[in-house]
Structure 1
Amino acid sequence: MAALRRLKQGRSTAIAISQLHTSSCAFAKQHYKMLVLGGGAGGIAMSARMKRIMGAENVAVVEPSEMHYYQPIWTLVGAGAKTVASSGRPTANVMPSGVKWVKSKVQEINPDTNTVCTDDGTEISYEYMIVALGLQLHYEKIKGLPEGFGYPNIGSNYSVQTVEKTWKALQNFKEGNTVFTFPNTPVKCAGAPQKIMYLTDAYLRKTGKRGKANIIYNTSLPVLFGVKKYADSLWEIVKQRDLKVNLRQNLIEVRADKQEAVFENLDKPGETQVLEYEMLHVTPPMGPNLVVKSSPLADEAGWLDVNKDNLQHKKYPNVFGIGDCTNLPTIRTAAAVAAQSAILNRTISKVLKNEKPDKKYDGYTSCPLVTSYNTVIMAEFDYNVQPLETFPINQAKERRIMYHMKADLMPHLYWHGLLTGLWGGPEPYRKLLHLGMK
């Protein structure tokens, strides 16, 4: 119930921010050459890189959270293969030494005056700014949530407060429907909603309960996965394992007391279907960060409006963006942030010298599609939704080695490579492994 209260508090905070229109900066003033908004993957990675370029004393990061989480591992936490404790470290431990950590929430961004206001009334001015505020989870846009998480047999791998509930629901399963959802909004890590389905199938087979389970994946999308090469492989797995996939189905209500989920048919407006469930995994609707959305930095949809080639803001040349808060037309993943960090580092280095950015981001992103407790399809692709694979093998095949990359190597790369500003994605290795031809 404490977790439920935190979810509700997050919801009320989001509403309060969205209603804010006037500046409330009233107290102390600070100034930095580089101001980084957000202490997630993109914010920490870029603050480490900026420290090297302009010195720690010239860089500040605005981030309220005491804990930093490696969210990609929550897929495995929800399936009992990792612990939630292993996914988090104190923010103080990942913040680059010497960089100023402003432990506040960003409340207002004023790019016309080069200032930011925090929730404690502090005004911070900047010469350059990197926006890395992530996106917003909107459980409240599904009727019956987030309060429905107070009931058993329902979880979500997208929140630290609810990921362990997924594992409990899986352990408690006896017989009936296990239902997995994908919302009718942009999401981060678009493969995660179905990864937990494959892991559930594997767990139920391992525990002898698979024969009593009807596994259902209801997705708002018209496809199983956006890249055909990998989608073809996933459809084969779906058929082999007797998983039921329903396209264009969007979760609109959870009746947790009755263990019922209500879906709308996106191709037939007004048509709904009620599914009883013994286990339900919810992928929440998501949207732009509300502070970004209410600022002049946003595009019409509310995302940070950046140049897709160099990550510089389209209107304000001293503002840059990275990660989930941007309108970059690629899948939002930690792997994308890694590739973006290298490009953005180059862009800012050029801008500081009054030179034109010369390196282009190709939209690289990666989605390790976990298909069991020891196999992964390693999807890698670009802006054109074409495979951009690191290894000279067919990565659309399930492989044990790729599972170990996902479960063991990638967390190490994240903590010791990406967050320290030393890992900018696999591009150099891809060129080497493909003999310079890719």
Structure 2
Amino acid sequence: MNLNIIKHSELFSTTGQIGKEDLSEIAAAGYRSVICNRPDAEDGGRHVPSGELAAASEKLGLAFSYLPADATHLSKEHGAALRRLLVSMPPPILAYCRTGNRSTNIFRLANAAEIVTPALQAGTADDRPRQFEVVIVGAGAAGIAVAASLLRRAPNMQIAMIDPASQHYYQPAWTLVGGGAYAQKKTVRPMASVMPERVQWLQRSVAEFLPDHNRVRLDDGSLIAYQQLIVCPGLRLAWEKIEGLEQTLGRNGVTSNYRYELAPYTWQLVSQLKQGKALFCQPAMPIKCAGAPQKAMYLSCDHWLRKGVLNKIAVEFNIAGVALFGVPAFVPPLMSYVKKYQAQLAFESNLVKVDGDRKLAWFDVKDRAGNIVRQEKSFDMLHVVPPQVAPDAVRNSPLANLDGWCEVDPATLRHVRYRNVFALGDISSTGNAKTVAAIRKQAVVVAANLLAACAGQPLSARYDGYGACPLTVEKGKVILAEFGYGGKLLPTFPLDPTIARRSNWFLKTTVLPWVYWTLMLKGREWLTKSSVAKEYP
């Protein structure tokens, strides 16, 4: 193809005058739509008229639109008209004029024009939805952080954030709340207070992803169109998968640090228990912060040990998997604390049913023959971690892999099938630990790569799978587990990460919350570059 095509984004390119002979090559190059910005009467009509090109395009399956513009009289109306075509025509789109400059300038007007907000309507492909350069689904740690990082690089970018929540939570501290070491009120702020100023917040839920049309449908039926989409709604806590659990949560000794209002109840139970049986549970992976279930046990046992009642409490940790922790280097130091607290480990033991009134719990346990048998266990305190799944809107969309997670390249975090879609945080299919620390680095990768994609440049930013789990093994000491893909150790500091340290407790309780609220959510990218993998004996 002899055309000089300028690629402005994954969705839109421009070129000079085309002929009918160029259309087959344009289609072969992957373009699905053509826009003519050159008036038919220009230069005496000596070029191929738009009507002939439209008829030839139709035969090749290309959509065609005529948006004529005088090169010396471009206006915001031209930009608004192009915006509407960007929504209605299948991408990628190639626009042309005499030299390509006019089409480029109209595209700039489309990006600079104020967003028109027509009355939202439900339902058909003929709707005219609101359109944004970038739509971010989810305003948790991932959504706010990536929006802030984008705006630091491109301050005029038009971004919409979709999330129904009115509160924003710092969830890593809930385990500390459950251990009586952190104030609950310090873990929550109004969503409006953390939303970047230049982001338009749509306080709704996404009901449906329509990536083939570059749209999402909200729970009120309205449509939102995008040029780039970032998917980060987090995961869903599937409490309903454990029979009887929802009816007894928050009473009868049944609690969970995975819910904001229940973490104080965990501490109430721990501080009041003087004897009896305490059960702690961990479901099958993946889950948010894989170390949190056992951190609840360690902090509880540390309190009981300090109060001199641990020898009167039978502690049992039920794990659906076959290992205490997924990175082998950290298992020996954790096992030393399991022995210190005289806790019993029950591997391949998955909580499936709870009767709070009778203080009974049932577990599906795999026996030595590989058979699943159901065991009944009594308790005085039961700390539950629910199964965790992808939200239905993602799971049931073309974005999902077979397990329901948004399927992205593990290094670039761009979707493997939709080139204008990125994902980060708990919803992504990457094999890293689902932690806030992982998001801190992922946000930078997505921001850099999305802007590179818009400019038609290679995606140079790479995510190494970094995640961190500060394992609070006792009040005042933390094992700082930092690792990447394949379990490679990626410590930030030049210290043996397998040793519990008081300095890590200060990091966990004081430094990291400050980093979250003051740096990460503001786009201040502290310690976000990849580390060099290290091995420890």
TM-score by structure 1 length?
0.90
The 5-angstrom pairing of residues 104-143 of structure 1 reads 104-143=204-243
Maintained 8 Å contact 1:57/1:100? no
Aligned to 1:48: 148
Deviation of 1:207 (Å): 2.2
CA distance in 2, matches of 1:54, 1:74: 34
Structure 1: gaps spanning 5 or more residues = 1-22
CA deviation vs aligned residue, 1:27-80 (integer Å, no higher than 9, x gap): 883110011000000100111122233335611100111100000000001111
**2:527 matches 1:397:** no
Maintained 8 Å contact 1:28/1:121? no
CA distance in 1, matches of 2:371, 2:497: 38
Which among 162, 184, 187 is matched to residue 287 of structure 2? 187
Aligned to 1:3: none
Which among 172, 185, 200 is matched to residue 100 of structure 1? 200
SS at match of 2:486: coil
Deviation of 1:116 (Å): 1.0
The 5-angstrom pairing of residues 421-432 of structure 1 reads 421-423=523-525, 425-427=527-529
Amino acid at match of 1:178: A
SS at match of 1:275: strand
**2:333 matches 1:233:** yes
Maintained 8 Å contact 2:424/2:442? yes
Maintained 8 Å contact 2:254/2:382? yes
Larger mean Cα displacement after TM superposition, 159-168 or 277-286 = 159-168
**2:177 matches 1:77:** yes
Aligned to 2:486: 384
CA distance in 2, matches of 1:83, 1:240: 27
Aligned to 1:290: 392
CA distance in 1, matches of 2:366, 2:389: 19
Which among 409, 418, 421 is matched to residue 319 of structure 1? 421
> What's the Cα RMSD here?
1.9
CA deviation vs aligned residue, 1:341-383 (integer Å, no higher than 9, x gap): 1211221121121011122211011000001110000001110
Maintained 8 Å contact 2:122/2:223? no
CA distance in 2, matches of 1:56, 1:387: 38
Which among 274, 292, 308 is matched to residue 410 of structure 2? 308
Deviation of 1:214 (Å): 1.0
CA distance in 2, matches of 1:296, 1:289: 13
Aligned to 2:95: none
Deviation of 1:141 (Å): 0.3
Maintained 8 Å contact 2:444/2:528? no
Aligned to 2:136: 36
Deviation of 1:24 (Å): 4.9
CA distance in 1, matches of 2:155, 2:448: 16
CA distance in 1, matches of 2:525, 2:176: 23
CA distance in 2, matches of 1:118, 1:396: 46
Deviation of 1:246 (Å): 1.3
Larger mean Cα displacement after TM superposition, 261-270 or 42-51 = 261-270
Deviation of 1:153 (Å): 1.2
Maintained 8 Å contact 2:519/2:525? yes
CA deviation vs aligned residue, 1:291-318 (integer Å, no higher than 9, x gap): 1011111111110010001000111100
Structure 2: gaps spanning 5 or more residues = 1-120
Amino acid at match of 1:127: Q
Alpha-carbon distance change, 337 to 417 in structure 1, aligned in 2, over 3 angstroms: same
User: Higher relative CO (CA 8 A, sep ≥ 6), structure 1 or 2?
Assistant: 1
**2:462 matches 1:360:** yes
The 5-angstrom pairing of residues 398-417 of structure 1 reads 398-417=500-519
TM-score by structure 2 length?
0.74
Aligned to 1:274: 376
CA deviation vs aligned residue, 1:378-397 (integer Å, no higher than 9, x gap): 00111011211111111101
Aligned to 2:32: none
Maintained 8 Å contact 1:153/1:172? no
Maintained 8 Å contact 1:390/1:426? no
Maintained 8 Å contact 1:220/1:266? no
Identity of aligned residues (%): 35
Which among 450, 456, 463 is matched to residue 348 of structure 1? 450
Deviation of 1:25 (Å): 4.3
Amino acid at match of 2:462: K
Aligned to 1:15: none
SS at match of 1:404: helix
Amino acid at match of 2:201: W
CA distance in 2, matches of 1:422, 1:315: 31
CA distance in 2, matches of 1:281, 1:272: 19
SS at match of 1:82: coil
Deviation of 1:243 (Å): 1.5
Amino acid at match of 1:351: A
CA distance in 1, matches of 2:156, 2:184: 31
Maintained 8 Å contact 1:152/1:169? no
CA distance in 2, matches of 1:426, 1:351: 21
Deviation of 1:325 (Å): 0.4
SS at match of 2:142: helix
Maintained 8 Å contact 1:305/1:313? yes
Maintained 8 Å contact 1:340/1:424? no
Alpha-carbon distance change, 347 to 271 in structure 1, aligned in 2, over 3 angstroms: same
**2:165 matches 1:65:** yes
Maintained 8 Å contact 1:204/1:210? yes
CA distance in 2, matches of 1:236, 1:83: 29
Alpha-carbon distance change, 28 to 72 in structure 1, aligned in 2, over 3 angstroms: farther
Deviation of 1:247 (Å): 1.0
Amino acid at match of 1:255: D
**2:319 matches 1:203:** no
CA distance in 1, matches of 2:526, 2:163: 22
CA distance in 1, matches of 2:244, 2:208: 31
Deviation of 1:253 (Å): 0.7
**2:426 matches 1:330:** no
CA deviation vs aligned residue, 1:197-216 (integer Å, no higher than 9, x gap): 00001111222221211111
Alpha-carbon distance change, 34 to 243 in structure 1, aligned in 2, over 3 angstroms: same
CA distance in 2, matches of 1:406, 1:207: 24
CA distance in 1, matches of 2:132, 2:243: 43
SS at match of 2:474: coil
CA distance in 1, matches of 2:527, 2:439: 8
